[in-house]
């Protein structure tokens, strides 16, 4: 049902241009990887702090607030470069299970991080117990791991 749509995306101007270039995919992929390092760092610092390790002497709210701009910047870089990579091989992605795992995880991880994790992390620490901070951190880690592992595995499939 969605296949014609994916075929149309792949034949779009951007998709074609990337596919026809010998180096465009490699360059965009590299920027995607650099974004991965930054978003990984931003997510990990908050999750680890919620788990009671890493910057454990700082308030959770401060770690969340201070890393937030980098989370947003790297998320945008990931979306832009990821979309470009997707456009160049949309049909391959359509048939790739890891791609769908990644997209599902990405949707959930994004909603959870921005709507739940950030709020819980910035909430009054007397109001939200350490147990909940830990649960939130673990859910976030699992979801983002799904995004990363799914993403890496798109390249191995097909």
Partner 1 sequence: MSLLWFAKWLAETQWSIDLHESLYMYPLVESVHVLTLCLFVGMSVMLDLRLLGLTLKRVPVSEVTRRLLPWMTVGFIIMVITGAALFYAIPVRSYQSIWFRVKMVMLALAGVNAWIFHSGIHKRVVDWDLDAVPPRAARVAGVCSLMLWALIVVSGRMIAYNWFDCDKQPQPHWVNVAAGCEVPPQ
Task: Phi first, then psi: give them for residue 15, nearest 5 degrees.
Answer: -55, -45
CB 8 to partner 1: min, Å: 29
51 in contact with partner 1 (CB under 8 A): no
Subset of 59-118 contacting partner 1 (CB under 8 A): 62-63, 66-67, 69-70
Tell me how far apart the alpha carbons of residues 105 and 147 are, in angstroms, rounded to a whole number: 5
26 in contact with partner 1 (CB under 8 A): yes
Cα 144 to chain centroid distance, Å, stands at 6
9 in contact with partner 1 (CB under 8 A): no
Residue placing its CB nearer to partner 1 in the complex, 3 or 33 = 33
> Is 156 within 8 Å of 104 (Cβ atoms)?
no
Which 3-state string (H, E, C) describes 84-123?
HHHHHCHHHHHCCHHHHHHHHHHHHHHHHHHHHHHHHHHC
Stretch that binds partner 1, among 36-44, 88-96, 115-123, 125-133 (CB under 8 A): 36-44
CB 31 to partner 1: min, Å: 8
Residue placing its CB nearer to partner 1 in the complex, 74 or 133 = 74
Tell me how far apart the alpha carbons of residues 137 and 60 are, in angstroms, rounded to a whole number: 11
Q: Which residues bind partner 1 (CB under 8 A)?
A: 22-23, 26, 29-30, 33-34, 36-45, 48, 53-58, 62-63, 66-67, 69-70, 145, 148-149, 152-153, 156
């Amino acid at each position: 049902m969605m296949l014609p749509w994916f075929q149309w995306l792949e034949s779009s101007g951007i998709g074609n241009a990337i596919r026809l270039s010998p180096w465009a995919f490699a360059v965009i992929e590299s920027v995607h990887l650099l974004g991965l390092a930054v978003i990984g760092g931003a997510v990990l610092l908050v999750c680890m702090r919620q788990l009671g390790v890493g910057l454990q002497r700082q308030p959770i709210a401060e770690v969340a607030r201070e890393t937030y701009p980098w989370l947003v910047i790297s998320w945008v870089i990931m979306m832009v470069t990821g979309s470009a990579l997707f456009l160049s091989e949309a049909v391959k992605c359509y048939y790739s299970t890891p791609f769908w795992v990644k997209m599902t995880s990405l949707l959930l991880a994004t909603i959870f991080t921005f709507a739940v994790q950030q709020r819980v992390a910035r909430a009054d620490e007397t109001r939200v117990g350490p147990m909940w901070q830990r649960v939130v951190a673990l859910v976030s880690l699992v979801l983002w791991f799904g995004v990363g592992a799914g993403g890496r595995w798109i390249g191995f499939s097909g």
